[in-house]
Amino acid sequence: MSAEAVKQDDAPAEGSRDWRALLREIAESSALVVVMAVVASMVIGGLLIIFADPDVSDAAGYFFARPMDTFTAAWDAVSSAYTAMFRGSVWNYSADTFAQQFKPLTETLTMATPLIFAGLGLGIGFRAGLFNIGAQGQIIMGAMLGGWVGFAWHLPVGLHLLVAVVASALGGAIWGFIPGILKAKTGAHEVIVTIMLNYVAANLLAFALSQDAFQRPDSDNLQSPIVDTTAQYPLILGSSYRLHLGFLLAIAAAIGVWWLMERSTWGFRFRAVGANPRAARTAGMNVSFGIIAVMTIAGALAGLAGSAQILGTEKSLTTGIAGSFGFDAITVALLGRSRPMGTVFAGILFGAFKASGPTLQVAAGLPVDIVLILQSLIVLFIAAPPLVRFLFRLPTPTNEKVVAA
């Protein structure tokens, strides 16, 4: 292709191709850019911590008399914040017993579990060119259906868990199928539909919790009965830790998704449809079916994230069952470059952020919002690779260069 043709063809002609170009850019940003984005946001986060810290502003009041005080205070603020995050999420070296020292890491993995599930699903969508914002609703529907099977049905050990997990996946799958079929058959944009379905799911849950079928008998609060122990994920490290079987299932799901996307005919089709739907269609691929299948699989994985919540950590339905996992999972999938391995690592990183919140607040006296700001900054940087490359003087990747005819 000629140099001049490349220049012209690069301009996206329509809105939906803008989305696709953005997704592609993110999916193909190098691992180095991702790591550097994390580093850059830690640096900016550090500056925010310095500005928010009362000791630093006190010392800055007499900066010209004793400038070192300001720097010392700043260093103390940043280091205590980041060490608190480390202690809250990886290894609590100041705890007395080994069990307590080890606990933060298991908390991180526990928090990571729903993020990995949902992130895997979103990643499939992103690679197929679908901007699925609906993980939140899909998690809620998964948790509702799985939870209902968990507390309303009473089945033997083993079978009960299996049925509840499948029900969770089914709940999410239905909530993914709806925007999928609407997109495939009517062209409705998946971003709009999934956002709206998030509201529907959240309010459906609130409504259900006010009904007898979901209401806990002895309670006036909006909460369901506790799921039977037979339907709960077994704890894999004993009762002192919350880490449950769902985490291993998430890792297995990651391997499954890798196979699906890289080694199966379905994944080949999904990727082709995502990268160039017109060429996929011209080559005889059924684009509509691809869209529906991708959205349904993504929904099922988000539904499994719901199962990690209801059958793993929460055990009863409340309106906050999904937390902000559905939205954080978008970040996780983007950070993981929509690849299964990357999503697992990104999920663990964000699980660590979530797990470190309480320690940060208690030990360093900083608002949890700092964590949210860090998360947001990471995404911001990843969405603008040229900015990161500029900041760290990284070379431009070769695929952006013009290829000679």
Partner 1 sequence: MKLELKGITKRFGTFTANDAIDLVVESGTVHALLGENGAGKSTLMNVLFGLYDADEGEILLDDEPTGFTGPGDAMAAGIGMVHQHFMLVPPFTVAENVMLGHEQVKGPAKLLDLAAARAKVKEISDRFKFDVDPDAVIEDLPVGAQQRVEIIKALSRDAKVLILDEPTAVLTPQETDELLAIVKDLRDAGTAVVLITHKLREVQAVADTITVIRRGKVVGTAEPTASQEELASLMVGRDVSMTVDKTPAEPGDVMLAVEDLSVIDEDGIARLKHVSFDVHAGEILAIAGVQGNGQTELAEALLGVVPTTSGTATLDGELLTGKSIKETLHSGMGFVPEDRTEDGLVATFTIANNLILDLHDVAPYAKGMALQPRVIAEEAEEHVKQFDVRTTSIEQTAGSLSGGNQQKVVLAREMSRPLKLLIASQPTRGLDVGSIEFVHKRIIAERDNGAAVIIVSAELDEVLALADRIAVMYHGEIVGIVPPDTDRDTLGLMMAGAHEEAAA
Residues engaged in binding partner 1 (CB under 8 A)? 1-5, 8-9, 24, 28, 263-266, 268-269, 271-272, 275-276, 278-286, 396, 398-405
Q: How far is the CB of 293 from partner 1 (least distance, A)?
A: 12
Nearest to 229 by CA among 163, 306, 150: 150
- When the beta carbons of 16 and 286 are compared against partner 1, the nearer one is 286
Q: How far is the CB of 294 from partner 1 (least distance, A)?
A: 15
Report how far residue 116's alpha carbon sits from residue 325's, in angstroms, rounded to the nearest whole number.
Answer: 10
- When the beta carbons of 278 and 393 are compared against partner 1, the nearer one is 278
- When the beta carbons of 2 and 229 are compared against partner 1, the nearer one is 2
Report how far residue 75's alpha carbon sits from residue 252's, in angstroms, rounded to the nearest whole number.
Answer: 42
- When the beta carbons of 216 and 281 are compared against partner 1, the nearer one is 281
Report how far residue 149's alpha carbon sits from residue 151's, in angstroms, rounded to the nearest whole number.
Answer: 6
* Side-chain half-sphere CA neighbours of 241 within 13 A: 23
Q: How far is the CB of 317 from partner 1 (least distance, A)?
A: 36
- When the beta carbons of 7 and 66 are compared against partner 1, the nearer one is 7
Full DSSP string of 139-205: HHHHHHHHHHHHHH----TTHHHHHHHHHHHHHHHHHHHHHHHHHHHH---HHHHHHHHHHHHHHHH
Q: How far is the CB of 337 from partner 1 (least distance, A)?
A: 13
Torsions phi, psi for 235 (to 5 deg): -80, 130
Q: How far is the CB of 292 from partner 1 (least distance, A)?
A: 16
Report how far residue 198's alpha carbon sits from residue 371's, in angstroms, rounded to the nearest whole number.
Answer: 24
Task: Give the dihedral sign, CA 116/117/119/120.
Answer: positive
- When the beta carbons of 59 and 261 are compared against partner 1, the nearer one is 261
Report how far residue 56's alpha carbon sits from residue 73's, in angstroms, rounded to the nearest whole number.
Answer: 5
- When the beta carbons of 260 and 360 are compared against partner 1, the nearer one is 260
Q: How far is the CB of 4 from partner 1 (least distance, A)?
A: 4
Q: How far is the CB of 215 from partner 1 (least distance, A)?
A: 44
